[in-house]
Structure 1
Amino acid sequence: MKRAITTTALWAAFILMAESLKLSEQVVFTKTPTQGQGIVRRYTHELAQDVDELLRIAQDLNLDIWHHDSKQLDIYFPTTTTASLHPALSRNTSYFEPYSEVPSPQLLAQNAIGWNISDLRASTFHLSYHPLYEIDSFLEEMANEWRDLVELIDIGASAEGRKTLAVKIARTDLNKKGKRVKKFAYVIQGAQHAREWIATATALYFANTLVVQKPKSLSHHKLLDHFDFYIIPTPNPDGYEYTWTEDRFWYKNRQSLGSDERCFGLDLNRNWGYQWSEETDFAGKPPKKKLPKDKCSHWYPGSRPFEAPEVVNVATFVSSLKRKMAFLDLRSYGQMLSTPYSYSCHDLPADAEDLLEAAMGAAQAAKKLYGTSIQTGMLCEMLYPAPGNIIDWMYGSANVKSSFAAHLPDTGTYGFSLPPTWIKPVGEEVGKIIDYLAKFIVNQVCSAAIP
């Protein structure tokens, strides 16, 4: 009885807070929700204390916060809560219904015929999203087609025993003395969070642009003059597979948390060992009363850092690389290019000025392509304090100076359900970002070498 009263009070507080957060200013995308489909509600806000309180209520109710920045808050309501909330929250509100349909096996089979990955303009692979087995097939096809450039590396098993593939794309060049030219390592990671399909699709598209040389306008083969690329398209293979078979919007990995636990998985991007914390407070302030950790939470960081085998796999692999100079974590959504730190908005990295300069230049380079506006800044300030983040570990522990997180399009119209027609244009924009950051690094190195 006590639990029921507490939950009722929370819902009442949520409704009151929602009314104060200018619900009439939410963006309308659909008029009538489809039966059986959840909805996303957007709240715009002006007062920081109001949104902080709404965030706390949403966390207490274990609602799925899709996006939170200085201007808006997107919260996903699955069907189990939509029915009870809809009458109370429908007044002066609007919402959008995310597209969650997974391509049928028949459609996938049809698209798999003749991917033609040697021609970016004619290739059909990047016209759709792909399940895990097709991604592996694509990488194997690349390795067979470009044997002198591509090497597949199994970096370790996931929690459910699936292999995690990294693809090394490098060209062997010799100097005038006949010795191999030493190059910098550039690491790119796809979707840590399972539902962020565009992040994995973009990683695959960029990998393709590194091996093809025509057309020149789409190829990034020239970057192999100075860099060896290590791309991990699906660092969370179990979670990604789960989004294709069970829950399109699954977030975490699929790790068992104990034989007596009813929930699975932890948030991989809160499980890294640099400034890890068991706290998962979006408002950035410690709760007045320390509560037991909810293992069912979307943002459960684990009971200790590096608890997730997927995090250990990537960390071990990256630690083995030499001459590490750049890391880019592809994410969704928000159109942002962020620098460390994520764990704190008060601590600045020693290279903060260089990192911001590089991010701003890369954002402008991408904008020239299709006019997409990309915000830049420190990740904590762009979103919220989140300890245990991968770019903090890359910068602070792995000593990768140029570490960035790229939140890909859009700003919420489609959210995590970005249509596949966006894959190529987003891939091209990310290519511009990677290209600019690479040239920025090379220029810095050359400048430092001049006495």
Structure 2
Amino acid sequence: MRFLPLISLCISLVAGAAVRSPNFKSYDGYKVFRVKTGRQLSHVHDKLSTISFEKWNHDVARHIDILLPPDQVAAFEALGLQSTCMHDNLGASMASESFTSTRWKRQNSNSSWFDSYHSYDEHIEYFEHLHQSFPNQSEWITSGTSYQGRDIYGLHLWGASGPGKPAVLYHGTVHAREWITAPVIEYITTQLINGYKVGDNTTQGFLNSYDFYIFPFVNPDGFVYSQTTERLWRKNRQPGPRNATCFGRDINRNWPFGWSANTRGASTNPCSQTYKGESPSDTPENRGLDAFVRQLRDTVGIKLFIDWHSYGQYLLSPYGFNETLYAPELGKWTATASLVSESIRDSSAARTTFTFGPSGATLYTTTGASIDHVYAVGGADFAYTIELRDTGAFGFVLPPEQILPSGREQWEGQKVLLSLLDEEFFDGKGPAVFVED
């Protein structure tokens, strides 16, 4: 199977470490509150409609995490809602997790890379180093380019007897502000390479059974923007339609399958954080990723797909577009996820717990989402969205001290998941599912 080579790494597009623009949005004095909802959800919504805030999280059935500018804090407190403060000064929290340009030691066995966040250029350099450390069993790949012309780069890894095995496909940094996803993917990639090279039987078994296609940044423009201009930016950087003044589409609401399934799973407002675009795959990032998925489907087949996100600590399977439609494989996916969750909890000093289940029923409705598409159109045997740490104490602004623990616990989870891909947990037949491609 052939993929276009990445020529010159496009370093010139984003040369040097990311530099904050003079217009970098300050969050000094902003506060983040967790507001209890539960049975009072509609009452809470009514009260919150009287103030200006940004919704910070997903799980509105139990609570809403909201971001408040300084001039709205007193008005919020006057509402008398049951709440706890997550960030007393979000600007100070962001300063403590800011990325660094400190040089890291170029040895795969050295974990200093995971001591801090890094610029986009340095992430490219780190992944290229991994490729150079495994030259005969890896290749640099790309699924295309972003709106601003950055390569959506990745690594293809394989084991004995060469490439051509069923695919394990990882996507990260779909949403720009979710900084933790790329280093977790990089940690897993490092463990795969290191383990294989030292003769670890488990790791060699993974690479001898599957080819890994690993993309740490599928939204590079948004990530760079989150480092230079607005830390909480989510979407890509594509201009809005026609005369719209807002920028960006949500790449994870832009996949063709389920794109128009309902009006609750994404937004048609170009200014919304979940704007799905004017038509399916109208982002260059998604078009390239979709073509890559279809090529894998038609050549080697997709055994496992994971779309890495943050935050909330969830292991989510299809479907997201319909909270009452269950795939025939749900029993197998749920049984597998339960064992993965258990392994993460048991391996973590913090006893990190991941909730699992079908995306729409477990968390919220999403239309045009990756796991639905890669399962229904790409034919993946397993498809998960993994929402990484934490459950809200820090949210998107996760301290760098949690990077390495996050990577370690996810590697433990992946070792269990990859070992179970060919196991049979569920022999029953689920409901018929009709897929229109």
- The TM-score, its normalising length taken from structure 1, stands at 0.79
Q: Counterpart in 2 of 1:212?
A: 194
Q: 1:410 to 1:35 in 2, by over 3 A?
A: closer
Spell out, residue by residue over 1:273-319, the C-alpha distance to the aligned partner (whole angstroms, 9 max, x if none): 1111386637x9xxxxxxx9421111111111111111112111122
Whole-Å separation in 1 of the counterparts to 2:35 and 2:59: 10
| Residue 307 (structure 1) aligned with residue 282 (structure 2) | yes
Q: Please, which of 194, 213, 218 is the counterpart of residue 176 of structure 2? A: 194
1:55 Cα deviation (Å)?
11
1:150 Cα deviation (Å)?
2.4
Q: Please, which of 243, 247, 256 is the counterpart of residue 273 of structure 1? A: 256
Q: Are 1:280 and 1:386, in contact at CA under 8 Å, matched by a contact in 2?
A: no
1:104 Cα deviation (Å)?
6.8
Whole-Å separation in 2 of the counterparts to 1:44 and 1:87: 14
| Residue 44 (structure 1) aligned with residue 36 (structure 2) | yes
Q: Are 1:362 and 1:437, in contact at CA under 8 Å, matched by a contact in 2?
A: yes
1:85 Cα deviation (Å)?
3.8
Whole-Å separation in 1 of the counterparts to 2:367 and 2:303: 23
Whole-Å separation in 1 of the counterparts to 2:163 and 2:217: 30
**Range moving further from structure 2, 143-152 or 91-100:** 91-100
Q: Are 1:117 and 1:125, in contact at CA under 8 Å, matched by a contact in 2?
A: no
Whole-Å separation in 2 of the counterparts to 1:293 and 1:316: 24
Amino acid at match of 2:278: S
Whole-Å separation in 2 of the counterparts to 1:422 and 1:218: 28
Whole-Å separation in 2 of the counterparts to 1:278 and 1:399: 19
1:43-192 aligned within 5 A: 43-47=35-39, 50=42, 53=45, 57=49, 63-79=54-70, 82=72, 85-86=75-76, 88-89=78-79, 93-97=83-87, 98=90, 99-101=93-95, 107-108=100-101, 111-112=102-103, 114-119=104-109, 122-171=110-159, 173-174=160-161, 182-192=164-174
| Residue 296 (structure 1) aligned with residue 271 (structure 2) | yes
Q: Counterpart in 2 of 1:318?
A: 293
Spell out, residue by residue over 1:294-346, the C-alpha distance to the aligned partner (whole angstroms, 9 max, x if none): 21111111111111111112111122122211011111011111111111111
Amino acid at match of 2:289: V
Q: Please, which of 360, 366, 382 is the counterpart of residue 338 of structure 2? A: 360
**Range moving further from structure 2, 292-301 or 187-196:** 292-301
Q: Are 2:36 and 2:82, in contact at CA under 8 Å, matched by a contact in 1?
A: no
Q: 1:53 to 1:280 in 2, by over 3 A?
A: farther
Q: Are 2:169 and 2:305, in contact at CA under 8 Å, matched by a contact in 1?
A: yes
Q: Counterpart in 1 of 2:12?
A: none
- 2:58 is paired with a residue whose SS is strand
Q: Are 2:97 and 2:399, in contact at CA under 8 Å, matched by a contact in 1?
A: no
Amino acid at match of 2:423: N
Figure out how many residues of one structure are paired with residues of the other and give that number. Answer: 391
1:94 Cα deviation (Å)?
3.8
Whole-Å separation in 1 of the counterparts to 2:201 and 2:287: 34
Whole-Å separation in 2 of the counterparts to 1:52 and 1:261: 31
Q: 1:37 to 1:262 in 2, by over 3 A?
A: farther
Q: 1:372 to 1:55 in 2, by over 3 A?
A: farther
| Residue 396 (structure 1) aligned with residue 396 (structure 2) | no
Runs of 4+ residues deviating >6 angstroms:
102-105, 214-219
Whole-Å separation in 1 of the counterparts to 2:281 and 2:152: 16
Whole-Å separation in 2 of the counterparts to 1:398 and 1:154: 18
1:301-450 aligned within 5 A: 301-321=276-296, 322-370=300-348, 371-444=351-424
Unaligned runs of 5+ in 1: 1-33, 175-179, 285-291
Whole-Å separation in 2 of the counterparts to 1:256 and 1:63: 21
Q: Are 2:318 and 2:358, in contact at CA under 8 Å, matched by a contact in 1?
A: yes
Whole-Å separation in 1 of the counterparts to 2:368 and 2:322: 11
1:95 Cα deviation (Å)?
2.1
Q: Are 1:149 and 1:211, in contact at CA under 8 Å, matched by a contact in 2?
A: no
Q: Are 2:144 and 2:152, in contact at CA under 8 Å, matched by a contact in 1?
A: yes
Q: 1:429 to 1:90 in 2, by over 3 A?
A: same
Q: Counterpart in 2 of 1:10?
A: none
Amino acid at match of 1:401: D
- 1:50 is paired with a residue whose SS is helix
Spell out, residue by residue over 1:75-132, the C-alpha distance to the aligned partner (whole angstroms, 9 max, x if none): 22245x6367456447765422242228778x41xx22x423321xx33111111111
Q: Are 1:220 and 1:431, in contact at CA under 8 Å, matched by a contact in 2?
A: no
Amino acid at match of 2:106: N
Amino acid at match of 2:56: I
Amino acid at match of 2:135: R
Spell out, residue by residue over 1:145-202, the C-alpha distance to the aligned partner (whole angstroms, 9 max, x if none): 221122111221101111110211112x23xxxxx58522101111211000111111
1:74 Cα deviation (Å)?
1.0
Whole-Å separation in 2 of the counterparts to 1:365 and 1:36: 39
Q: Are 2:375 and 2:381, in contact at CA under 8 Å, matched by a contact in 1?
A: yes
Whole-Å separation in 1 of the counterparts to 2:390 and 2:187: 18
1:53 Cα deviation (Å)?
4.2
1:38 Cα deviation (Å)?
2.1
| Residue 264 (structure 1) aligned with residue 247 (structure 2) | yes
- 1:427 is paired with a residue whose SS is helix
Amino acid at match of 2:170: I
